[in-house]
Amino acid sequence: MKNLLLSFLLIGFSSCAYDYIHADYRDVVCGEYTGIKVESALYSEADTVVLYALSLEKSDEDSIVDLVYQVLVDDSIYTSPTYAFYFTGEVFQYAGYDPEWVPTLVFTNPDLHFHHQPGIGPYYIDLYATKIE
């Protein structure tokens, strides 16, 4: 009797089909953004503010998003280097970078803020962006 009950349970559970949905949580943040870029230095009299376009795309590697922005400077387009961030669904972490100058990326749906100190001088770049729907 016990074997018969176990065999029915085994057959019943083995015939169940599960549809797993593997949603990519990076889809929430990836897309096109627009906003302002603020360049500031510790001893400067005024900050430089320019409009820019930003793209946040899924990398081929799992859990990584790539950030690239473009700025119009003197009638030519400047394209930034690509910044790759690990995305855990809540926190962006930038790996492989000097800990004192680690770029940060904060996402608050639908806005994001990117902060970077690209060197040892007192010079900072802040990008404030809103996702384009």
**Quick one: tokens of 75?**
């009638």
Task: Go through the domains of the chain in sequence order and give each one's CATH number.
Answer: 2-131 (2.40.128.120)
| More confident: 66 or 98 | 66
Position with higher pLDDT, 30 vs 88: 30
DSSP 80: P
Residue 27's pLDDT band (cuts 50, 70, 90): confident
Q: What is the mean pLDDT of residues 50-68?
A: 85
pLDDT at 12 over 70: no
Q: What is the average pLDDT score of the chain?
A: 75
Report CA torsion sign: 84, 105, 33, 108. Answer: positive
Give the Cβ contact number of residue 102 at 10 Å: 14
pTM, whole model, 2 decimals?
A: 0.68
Show the CA angle centred on residue 34, arms to residues 97 and 41, nearest 5°: 50
Distance CA 133, CA 130 (A): 9
Neighbours of 108 (CB within 10 A): 7
Residue 33: per-residue pLDDT? 92
Identify the CA nearest to 117 among candidates 35, 34, 39, 37.
Answer: 39
The structure tokens listed for 54 are 């930003």
Confidence of residue 130 (pLDDT cuts 50, 70, 90): very high
pLDDT of residue 32: 92
pLDDT of 91 strictly over 70: no
Overall average pLDDT of the 127-131 stretch: 91
Vertex 49 angle, CA 47 and 53, to 5°: 145
pLDDT of res. 128: 92
Model pLDDT, residue 4: 54
Q: State residue 37's pLDDT score.
A: 86
